[in-house]
Homo-oligomer: A and B are copies of this chain.
């Protein structure tokens, strides 16, 4: 059969298999998540493909279309073999763009919501040296550290020059991802009080296995936001389905914020912060929020943070109910 390369549109799903190589093995995934194929001849790993995106893009698209059309058979899907799409990256910065989350955190401690939070995103410098895989256990040193999940959406960018505008920054987005930003709530207050920001409280995050181009995401990508619910299950039960549409700052604004005093190199990952909606029906994307709501409504925290054996599952589906990014499914283990 003939392979048609889309010149104007580039729907694609890309990912990384776990391997001895710290950057893993680069693969293209079929649209229906049933097959994948290794592409070492196009790039040794995903980050390298992003660093040479203009050279690699059409080659990868040919493979993707070959998988869809059947010209390339590939291997049957086994998500257990997958690492996070970028097992490590040089720049991982996480915003806090869902203001309902910020409000809840502040309400619980009777703090005002300053006007500045509507104008300037909160963002912390994360550590991208050593992400967990989507099914990798979350190590817990001590229950008192208050292990929590944070369901987030995120983007992977091309090179972004210092001082880039929010509008131009939107054009630098290559991929969307979903994230579990693991947080140690018991350690955060002390380290924020010390004034130097998050460090111990933000150990390695994990990502769902497939990164999607904006064309692959299709109409769910709108005005710099991923307008789908993020489905969160905790120990097999519904926990949340907050929608990405309520993001106060869109990803172009978050990227521009990150690039205010520096260039961002290709492969930069920018997170949205916990996906959170101002609605009691959608639940939450982290334990902290549920605890806040308990505190506000009932005066006490009831839900404990994660214990050894607790399991979180995070996915996102399209309108047809098809899993878009593959599945984050992690269990807490004793470190």
A residues touching B (Cβ–Cβ < 8 Å)? 22, 51, 88-91, 93, 96, 116, 120, 122-130, 139, 141, 145, 162-163, 184, 187, 192, 194-204, 258, 260-265, 268, 335
Contacts and interface: CB of A to CB of B under 8 A. Distances in A.
Nearest to A260: B200
A122 B197 CA distance: 10
Main secondary structure of the interface of A (DSSP, over half): loop
A89 to B, nearest CB: 7
Given A196-B122, A196-B198, A91 B129 contact: yes
Given A198-B197, A199-B123, A90 B93 contact: no
Contacts of A22: 51, 265
A163 B126 CA distance: 19
With a 10 A CB-CB cut-off, give which of A51, A187, A265 has the most chain B CB atoms: A265
Contacts of A162: 139, 141, 335
A262 B127 contact: yes
Contacts of A263: 130
A297 to B, nearest CB: 26
Given A123-B196, A195-B197, A200-B260, 16 more contacts: A91-B127, A91-B129, A91-B130, A122-B194, A124-B196, A124-B197, A125-B127, A125-B198, A129-B265, A129-B268, A141-B261, A162-B335, A187-B261, A197-B197, A203-B262, A204-B262
